Amino acid sequence: MRIIAVIPAYNEEKRIGETITKIQPLVDGIVVVDDGSTDATFDAAKRTGATVLRHAMNRGQGAGLKTGTEAALRLGADVVVHIDADGQHDPSFIPILVDPIKKGEADVVLGSRFMGLQPEGIPFSRRVLHRAIKTFNSLVMGIPRKLTDPQSGLRAMNANAAQRLDFRQDRMAHCSELLRLITRSDLCWVEVPVKVIYSEDTLAKGNKNLDAVKIAWQLFLGMFSK
Amino acid sequence: MLIQIVLIAVLLGALYVTWRRARQNVITLSEALLWSVLWIAAGVVIALPQTATLVANFFGVGRGSDFVIYASVVTLFVLVFKIFVAMEGLERKLTEMVRRDALRDLPKKEDAG
């Protein structure tokens, strides 16, 4: 089975190299999408030997993931793994994510930060944000509450699922949109526990608390857009 | 009153331009009719402000000028929202173009083993 990791990266020249070299031994290929970075992300990623694509301008994480997923499929991926560029996802969980797909037990495997493994350094305000997103997801988006992590960026899917999950949200809202598409399809999905490391660095760049409002607004606009 | 004369003159101008454009086939007949109704309705409200009060009372609003303000706010809200949706559509088209450009060197799905 050909496993290809997709890493969208925006201004990650410092961390992308290390992230890629950690992931490389665990997968058969890596697609990095440089999302219009203004720093040397493209060159840093290229040096590792990964397939690097470049967005001519910044289009957001969701857009980067979709471009990368399309590229992975073209490169003959059987399993596509989505993972963040900033190193907050521990790559050692990739085999755990891929395992249920290999065994044919699931089409989509979602990494959850809230299934026992305590995330490191997760601030209280971020917990409140997750709770708010979860409530919004279930009430407005119709995503089942049994899903423990509303906003996980670490996931794996087989080629069939990758082809069928046609997510359109370019920015942060792609997470909720994907969960809605997954849970409303006949695709078989499971959650597995993963550990995320929050550092000051990654927090500075990750979701801000106000982003919940932005995500809700983007999802709302998305309902009126083709 | 001066403001009524000025506004009605402007509306008459708008009505004239609307039908000129219709004759030039720049806008369709139904569009011209729609705009005409709007101009005439505005003219009636300006010339006889008490008609706005009649409509206002029908909707349960006390004063005609209040009703005009409320209606404008609602109309503007709808228009702004339509612009937001249109922008989102443009953004998605832009992303699609950026994506196509990023993927242009990769083989198409059919070609890949």
Confirm or reject contact between B91 and chain A (CB < 8 A). Answer: yes
Average per-residue pLDDT for chain A: 90
* Closest residue to B109, CB basis, from A60, A63, A73: A73
Cα Rg of chain A, angstroms: 16
B15 domain residue, yes or no: yes
| CATH numbers and ranges of domains, chain A | 3-223 (3.90.550.10)
* Closest residue to B101, CB basis, from A56, A76, A226: A56
For chain B, which residues score pLDDT lower than 50?
111-113
Helix (H) or strand (E) holding A156: strand A155-158
Based on the fold, state whether residues B13 and B42 are members of the same structural domain.
Answer: yes
pLDDT at B99: 97
Residues A104, A109, A115, CA angle at the centre, nearest 5°? Answer: 125
- B5-11 long-range Cβ contacts below 8 angstroms, 24+ apart: B7/B42, B7/B46, B8/B43, B8/B46, B8/B47, B11/B39, B11/B40, B11/B42, B11/B43, B11/B46
pLDDT at B54: 86
Given an 8 Å threshold on Cβ–Cβ distance, is B102 in contact with A66?
Answer: no
B76 domain residue, yes or no: yes
**How many C-beta atoms lie closer than 10 Å to residue A147's C-beta?**
19
What ipTM was estimated for this complex? 0.87
Average pLDDT over residues A163-191: 93
Determine the Cα–Cα distance for residues A33 and A85; give it in Å rounded to an integer.
10
pLDDT band (50, 70, 90) for residue A172: confident
pLDDT at A152: 83
pLDDT digits (tens, 9 = 90+) for B33-58: 999 999 999 999 899 888 888 888 88
- How many independent structural domains does chain B possess? 2
Burial class of residue B76 (count of CB atoms within 10 Å of its CB; 0-12, 13-18, 19+): exposed
Given an 8 Å threshold on Cβ–Cβ distance, is A55 in contact with B109?
Answer: no
Work out how many CB contacts closer than 8 A connect A with B: 61
Given an 8 Å threshold on Cβ–Cβ distance, is B99 in contact with A63?
Answer: yes
The DSSP code for A197 is B
**Alpha-carbon gap: B80 to the closest alpha carbon of chain A (Å):** 12
CA nearest to A217 within chain B: B84
pLDDT digits (tens, 9 = 90+) for A38-61: 999 999 999 999 999 999 999 999
pLDDT at A204: 65
Residues A184, A157, A17, CA angle at the centre, nearest 5°? Answer: 135
Closest CA to A80 of A4, A134, A13, A20: A4
Structural domain including B5 reads 1-48
Given an 8 Å threshold on Cβ–Cβ distance, is A73 in contact with B91?
Answer: no
| Strand duo A79-82 + A189-193: pairing | unpaired
Cβ atoms of A100 and A181 closer than 8 Å: no
Given an 8 Å threshold on Cβ–Cβ distance, is A70 in contact with B94?
Answer: no
Average pLDDT over residues A165-172: 92
pLDDT at B113: 41
For residues A101 and B55, which has the higher predicted lDDT (pLDDT)?
A101
Cβ atoms of A168 and A161 closer than 8 Å: no
B85 domain residue, yes or no: yes
pLDDT band (50, 70, 90) for residue A205: low
Q: Is the pLDDT reported for residue A105 higher than 70? A: yes
pLDDT at A187: 95
pLDDT at B112: 44
CA nearest to A226 within chain B: B89
B56 domain residue, yes or no: no
